[in-house]
Amino acid sequence: MRTLYPNRTRRPPADEPETLADAIAGNVIGQPAAVESIVRYVEMYQAGLAPEGRPAGVFLLLGPSGTGKTKTVEALAAALHGSEKSLLRIDCGEFQMEHEVAKLIGAPPGYLGHRETHPLLTQAKLNAVTTERSSLSLVLFDEIEKAAPSMTRLLLGVLDKAALRLGDNTTVSFERAMIFLTSNLGAREMLRVLNPGFGFESVARHPGQVEKKLERIGINAVRRKFPPEFVNRLDSVVTYQPLDQASLNRILDIQLEQLQGHLDTRLGPRSFTVEVTAAAREFLLARGTSAEYGARELKRVILRHVTQPLASAVARKRVEPGSTVVVGLAPDASSLELDFGPDAPRRRRSA
């Protein structure tokens, strides 16, 4: 019998309760230090020992693209609230102009557009991303370095006193919130360290030295970009490490499992099993991962080369319910193809 996903992420035995760290690490691969740093602050909040008058935690997540910075916050939301969407996300790329930052707090009374401008950071919106399972709100400022400087000044009071005054003079409390700032600061310099040759081989040779050097690069980039009073209000600056080949394999496993779960949920009794050969896995990894973008492109590559051909086969009723579809490498090695198994008509389709 062929193994469907040989590098499956480790899960605790049935009689062993899954910890918060286990739940996050099951979706955030290859970043144990980042997970541990965040979990410590969550446990302080859950124990009632978080500092008063400050947010439950303030984190700046640095590192190369595609290493799991945003995914960490989503995985934490899923672990605490049951859904990756249970967080308040601010895309800082939408606030590159000074006047756009005012959208976060709304225009004060008397100013043009006061009634039409609804602030994005309100107490109601913070409370809306909590659940009965946890009262902790997660706030994500994605790619903070893209925002106008006034965003940094606006956040100073939030990071220090856990309070934000809106345009209508009401105050929003962030004492029951954990704030995450993601950034690609130093990413280009990190890539030069990671990729003196090609691929991930250079990282594997001296992993300890590389990790320390990436941390120094990240910290120096943060200090050049942000004022000292802003940096001093951060509880933790976490530098994400490059993903090795084992981590990339595990990420591929997770995404293929998610595809199988999606098929089972959407198709119900018409569902079938998808099996990916070793050669097809190498094809997906070669096109979906890189030193520059990590695993960011992998989901898109799976969509194009696996999901879309499967959808076409289902629409044309070429897949029997309960059968096994094998995804393999085409003879010319330039694409993938689907084998519908011995019980179905033997048809192949290039992906």
**pLDDT category, 340, cuts 50, 70, 90?**
confident
pLDDT at 276: 96
CA distances from 314 to 90, 175, 263 (A): 38, 50, 11
Q: Considering the chain, what is the average pLDDT of its residues? A: 85
Token digits of residue 22: 């286990």
pLDDT digits (tens, 9 = 90+) for 224-244: 999 999 999 999 999 998 888
Q: Counting Cβ atoms within 10 Å, is residue 44 exposed (0-12), middle (13-18) or buried (19+)?
A: middle
Q: Counting Cβ atoms within 10 Å, is residue 266 exposed (0-12), middle (13-18) or buried (19+)?
A: exposed
Say what percent of the chain tops pLDDT 70. Answer: 85
pLDDT at 68 over 70: yes
Least-confidence region, from 139-143, 153-157, 277-281: 153-157
| Domains along the sequence of the chain with CATH | 31-242 (3.40.50.300), 246-350 (1.10.8.60)
Averaged pLDDT for residues 277-302: 91
> Whole-prediction pTM value?
0.82
What is the secondary structure of 234-303 as a DSSP string? -SEEEEPPPP-HHHHHHHHHHHHHHHHHHHHHHHGGG--EEEE-HHHHHHHHHHH-BTTTBTTTHHHHHI
Element (H or E) spanning 300, and its range?
Answer: helix 298-302
Query: Which amino acid does the sequence have at 223?
Result: R
Is 339 in a helix, a strand, or coil? strand
Question: For residue 143, how many other CB atoms are within 10 A of its CB?
Answer: 17
**pLDDT category, 328, cuts 50, 70, 90?**
very high
pLDDT at 132: 94
**pLDDT category, 168, cuts 50, 70, 90?**
confident
pLDDT at 345: 40
CA 305 to chain centre: 22
**pLDDT category, 117, cuts 50, 70, 90?**
low
Distance CA 193, CA 207 (A): 11
pLDDT at 204 over 90: no
The torsion angles phi and psi of 77, rounded to 5 degrees, stand at -60, -40
Q: Which residues pair with 173 in a beta bridge?
A: 163
Question: For residue 225, how many other CB atoms are within 10 A of its CB?
Answer: 16
- Say which residue, 99 or 109, is predicted with more confidence: 99
